[in-house]
Structure formats: structure tokens, C-alpha cells
Amino acid sequence: MQLQLGGACNALHPVEARMARWLLSFRDRIDTDVLPLTQEALSEILGVRRTTVTLLMRNLRASGAIRSDRRGHIEIDPIRLAAAACECHGKIRLEVEKIFSTVTAPSGNPGLVRSRTLDQR
């Protein structure tokens, strides 16, 4: 699902929005605003030239979405970055949450409580 959406995203959305989306997804995984990333890695991930990444970073920094970009660490402002990202980030996150809530739903234990009540009778 993530790959499918990712493919549509690559075809439909501008690279700046995709870069913002990718940085947000990465942040979701490592749970910190300082991402251990170089511009070189970003250019490989997004399949664009390094000079394009530099330009995009400059734009995002001007809008406050990127706080700093130094020595292989990119510090982001997740709220501002979300404003710059395409809607795919929210979609993918929603789907992932749906999958996890389905997986964890049985441990909500309504069944267990009921069978315990039955045992007492």
C-alpha cells in the first residue's frame, strides 16, 4: 500500500511536496525532529540532482519547515513541514494506523470480560 501510494505520489506531486512528505515519514519512524540525513542521501532517495535538493532545502528553510541543515543532520519543524507536504503523508499514516488498530483490537478484551462473567454464573 505504501509503495502504491508512493508510486502515485512520485508521478503526481511536485518534488518539494514529496521531499517534505518523505522527511515527515522518516520523522514518524525515528521520533525526533533532528533527522540523521545528508542532502546526498535525499537526492538518491528522491531521484533528483543534488543541486535540486539544495534548492528545495533553501525554500523549505525560508518557510521555516527546515530549521537547520548541518553536518548530516536536518532539523525540521514538523508542523510547518506538514503544510509543505502533499496529502500522501496523512493518507499513508492513516492506513498504517488502521492496520495497527485492527491488529491490536482483539486485545481490547471485551470478549475476555464477557467470558469471565459467564464463568461466574
Q: Mention every residue, 6+ apart, whose C-beta is less than 8 A from residue 69.
A: 39, 57, 61, 75
Q: Which of 41, 46, 86, 96 binds Zn ion (CB under 5 A)?
A: 86
Site for Zn ion in 66-85 (CB under 5 A): none
DSSP label at residue 108:
G
C-alpha cell at 96: 498504517
Minimum distance from CB of 82 to Zn ion (Å)?
Answer: 12
Q: Report if residue 37 touches Zn ion, rule: CB under 5 A.
A: no
Q: Which is nearer to Zn ion, 57 or 89 (CB)?
A: 89
Minimum distance from CB of 9 to Zn ion (Å)?
Answer: 3
Q: Report if residue 13 touches Zn ion, rule: CB under 5 A.
A: yes
- 3-state SS class at 104: helix
**Which helix or strand (DSSP H or E) is residue 67 part of?**
strand 66-70
Chain contacts with Zn ion (rule: CB under 5 A) = 9, 13, 86, 88
